[in-house]
Amino acid sequence: MQRKSIAVLFVFVLAAAIVTIQRGVYGFPNDYAVFRASFWNLTAHRDLYVLRLDQARDYFKYSPTFALLFAPFALPPFVVGLLLWNVVNAAAIWLALLLLLRDERALAAQLLVSVPALRNMQSSQSNALVAAAIVFAFVCYERGWLWRGAGSIAIGTAIKIFPFASLTFALPRRDRWRAIGIAVVCTIILAALPLLVLSPSELAAQYQSWGALEKTEATLVGSSVMALIRDAGLSWPAWPFQLLACAILLAVLAYRLRDWNERSVRLQFLALVLVFCVVFNHRAERQSSVIAITGMVIWLLSRPRTKWRVALFAVVYALVTLTGTNIVPDVIKRVLTPEIRFTIPLTAGWLAILGELVLARDGRGLVAEIGEGDAGSL
């Protein structure tokens, strides 16, 4: 199994190299250009959150810390830095799944995640790294590595805010308050890290500018659950639904706390968090599907397969992942709306994971019992 997994890593790295040539030599990787420029703008003491069309075709929307941490990918020549960035994203999700599952399921997970991971690399985005950070945090808290888990949360949060939900993995621990304290300390340290190149007043101005940019995007709903609700005619802001979803996560965690010693329950909750980070993200887009699909894969592999679980996963995977490739003819893609190809199946997947966690009896999902005669090992 380990040799096969290493072979998958080789394919990941090879794909990263091909994508780098495709986008970095014969195209323009806009997101990488944005990230790269952010480092040079930070060190030049320029406002990170101003659109500079001579650098890239979009705003930088991440934290000042991310701009500083991008140094290893910004310092080399453009194409070399892009290659390193793509390789790190690919290797991170590969390693995270290997550490999480540690058996033949890891290979299956790596193969299934490879397609959305490749799409992420084609856009030179950070979503595979975000997914890996969430999984790493889970693994670290399982093994009692509080500082490493906190570091994973802090790094994920420096990229996108939603990975802070990974802190829920520490709540079932007996030393939860120490774990929370360490996570807060790590997050504060990373938030202050740009002080290595900025004065306190300059860093405060950067955060103020970032907050202003985020405020202008607060009304966005992206390809999220909130978009479906808005399409239904309810024009509420995103935050009440995001707050409700956070409350549901905490309620489910409290409800299943008595079963937390069962790894299948823990894996299901990890899956719930991963999909949550996409379907309730007001800036969700198709490139972020690698985060949600990683969650769906972990959910599928968390228990023996049943017909309904395999069928649901197959539908979600086909609609979200395969319709974004050339495998599916354009005529079919034109028939399927963006909501059918992304938001609706992922929302259905999140609700299925939620239902399986809630409809539980003595650590066994009631839904999982249906069709148990068809169960087999993965």
Is 111 within a domain?
Answer: no
Q: Cβ-count burial of 337 within 10 angstroms (0-12 exposed, 13-18 middle, 19+ buried)?
A: exposed
Q: 248-286: string of b/e by CB count within 10 Å (b at 16+)?
A: bbeebbeebeebeeeebbbbbbbbbbbbbbbbbbbbbbb
DSSP-derived letter for residue 258 is G
3-state class (DSSP) for residue 47: coil
The number of beta carbons lying within 10 Å of the beta carbon of residue 234 is 10
Is 199 within a domain?
Answer: no
Helix or strand holding residue 364 (H, E): strand 364-365
Q: How many distinct structural domains can be found in the chain?
A: 1
Q: Which residues contact 366 (CB under 8 A, 6 or more apart)?
A: 359, 360
The pLDDT value recorded for residue 153 is: 96
d(CA 109, CA 105) in angstroms, rounded, equals 6
Is 303 within a domain?
Answer: yes
Q: In terms of residue numbers, what domain contains 360? A: 218-378
50-95 pLDDT per residue, tens: 999 999 989 999 999 999 999 999 999 999 999 999 999 999 999 9
DSSP E strands: which ranges in 274-363? 360-361
103-144 pLDDT per residue, tens: 789 999 999 999 999 989 999 999 999 999 999 999 999 999
The pLDDT value recorded for residue 204 is: 97
* CA 314 vs CA 272, 310, 318, 326, 335: distances in Å: 18, 6, 6, 18, 19
d(CA 289, CA 276) in angstroms, rounded, equals 11
Q: 361 forms bridges with which residues in the sheet?
A: 364
pTM across the whole model: 0.92
- Token pair 């309810």 is at which residue? 234
From first to last of the 378 residues of the chain, give the pLDDT tens digit: 577 888 989 999 999 999 999 999 999 999 999 999 999 999 999 999 999 999 998 999 999 999 999 999 999 999 999 999 999 999 999 999 999 997 789 999 999 999 999 989 999 999 999 999 999 999 999 999 999 999 999 999 999 889 999 999 999 999 999 999 999 999 999 999 999 999 999 999 999 999 999 888 777 778 889 989 888 888 888 889 999 999 999 999 999 999 999 999 999 999 999 999 999 998 888 889 999 999 999 999 998 888 999 999 999 999 999 887 778 887 787 788 888 889 999 999 999 999 999 986 544 444 443 333 333 333
- Token pair 């985005």 is at which residue? 125
Is 154 within a domain?
Answer: no
d(CA 264, CA 266) in angstroms, rounded, equals 5
Is 367 within a domain?
Answer: yes
The pLDDT value recorded for residue 17 is: 95
Alpha helices, H only, 193-306: 200-216, 225-231, 239-255, 263-279, 289-301
146-159 and 176-192 helices, crossing angle to 10°: 40
The pLDDT value recorded for residue 4 is: 82
Is 376 within a domain?
Answer: yes
Is 70 within a domain?
Answer: no
The pLDDT value recorded for residue 214 is: 86
Structure tokens at 137: 């945090």
The pLDDT value recorded for residue 134 is: 97
Q: Which residues contact 200 (CB under 8 A, 6 or more apart)?
A: none
The pLDDT value recorded for residue 64 is: 97
d(CA 40, CA 179) in angstroms, rounded, equals 34
Q: In 3D, which of 106, 151, 118, 125 has the Cα closest to residue 1?
A: 106
The pLDDT value recorded for residue 315 is: 96
Is 75 within a domain?
Answer: no
263-279 and 127-142 helices, crossing angle to 10°: 150
The pLDDT value recorded for residue 360 is: 66
The pLDDT value recorded for residue 5 is: 83
